[in-house]
Amino acid sequence: MVKSKEHVLRELMEEAEGKFKGLLDWYEAHPDATLAEIEEQVGEMRQELVGKVIEGALALSGKGFQLEGVRCEGCREVMKFQGYRERTVQTVEGEVRVSRAYYYCPRCKRGIFPPG
């Protein structure tokens, strides 16, 4: 399912608010924290939020579903749409979970997540 920009924005704002509240709670519990300790906490929060931004952007794209047949690179037969599957993708900011269209070739026994 393609999400609307408004839905994605609402989810991101809720996530950011929760992370920031968590940071403030952590700081209240650690009033003598050094700048390095605060930076470490903020860095972890930033990495998680950037991952959510990437997930949100991908949710706007349609997750790779293509109406016309995706052809197998091996035998050139039309592959079968198998639904959506989650994958963990490594980015510069860390791991991101994405849900993508998955296609399978019964002849070659190979599957792909097409770009999109």
pLDDT value at residue 116:
45
Burial 93-113 (b: 16+ CB within 10 A, else e): eeebebbbbbbbbeeeeeebb
The reported pLDDT for the residue numbered 113 is 78
* Residue, of 101 and 35, whose pLDDT is higher: 35
Global confidence as pTM: 0.58
pLDDT digits (tens, 9 = 90+) for 25-80: 999 999 999 999 999 999 888 888 888 888 787 777 666 555 567 889 889 999 99
Query: In the predicted model, is pLDDT for residue 114 greater than 80?
Result: no
